[in-house]
């Protein structure tokens, strides 16, 4: 993958994420971690090569089917991407609303999830009134609320203290146990090592290897 005419940000990447797997993605700043996640959640197309998701070659999937595929992928963005005019509850519930669910079917589940991420008392708050850590936790809640088939998280604990980071990790592990494939980009070496999960390492745009934490 390259941006414009710049040198390739990623090159010669061969990666398969088995269904139900959990991996951390590590590497120095500029190694291409965010770019790899963007390819997987279809924000960009590869400059060369191909991507297969859910058994389909993305290059041959009709454009009308892409939104449905994207809805099977939960994403935690570094920049949060919350809607400032919606409450914390409505931001977290947005994937369910888009899927056509009635609020009666998910009100309690969303409230419970917000409580788990430490936002039980902030459900009616608007994003501009939340701290950076609270926004991060809300973005995580929104990404996992619909129990996606794949969860991609770009530095999900970057603005959280160690205790909350461990709590979020437990949430991701529990989601993984229920069948979701999880890929987490992280600089938090202590968190990565404590998880015991397999590690993918990017350096210089290349996947250097796969190993234990």
In the chain, where the domains are located: 22-211
- Give the residue from 101, 130, 106, 126 showing the smallest Cα distance to 118: 130
Any idea what DSSP says for residue 25?
E
Work out the angle at residue 105's Cα, subtended by the Cα atoms of residues 148 and 129, and round it to the nearest 5 degrees: 75
Architecture of domain 22-211: 3-Layer(aba) Sandwich (3.40)
Whether 211 has a pLDDT exceeding 70, the answer reads no
- pLDDT (tens digit per residue) in 42-98: 998 899 999 999 999 998 999 889 888 999 999 998 889 999 999 999 999 999 999
Model confidence pLDDT, tens digit, residues 100-155? 999 999 999 999 999 989 999 999 999 999 998 899 899 999 999 999 999 999 98
């Amino acid at each position: 993958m390259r941006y414009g005419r710049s040198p390739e940000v990623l090159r010669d990447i061969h990666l398969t994420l088995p269904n139900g797997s959990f991996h951390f993605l590590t590497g120095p700043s500029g190694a291409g971690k965010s770019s790899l996640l963007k390819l997987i959640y279809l924000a960009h197309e590869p400059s060369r090569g191909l991507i297969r998701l859910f058994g389909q070659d993305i290059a041959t999937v009709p454009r009308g089917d892409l939104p449905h595929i994207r809805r099977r992928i939960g994403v935690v963005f570094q920049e949060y991407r919350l809607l400032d005019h919606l409450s914390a509850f409505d931001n977290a519930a947005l994937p369910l609303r888009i899927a056509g669910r009635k609020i009666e079917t998910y009100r309690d589940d969303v409230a419970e999830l917000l409580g788990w991420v430490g936002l039980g008392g902030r459900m009616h708050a608007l994003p501009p009134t939340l701290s950076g850590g609270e926004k991060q936790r809300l973005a995580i809640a929104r990404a996992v609320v619909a129990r996606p088939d794949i969860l991609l998280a770009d530095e999900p604990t970057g603005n959280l203290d160690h205790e909350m980071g461990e709590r979020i990790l437990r949430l991701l592990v529990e989601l993984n146990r229920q069948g979701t494939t999880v890929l987490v980009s992280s600089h938090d070496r202590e968190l990565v090592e404590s998880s015991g999960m397999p590690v993918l390492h990017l350096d210089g745009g290349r996947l250097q290897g796969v190993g234990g934490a």
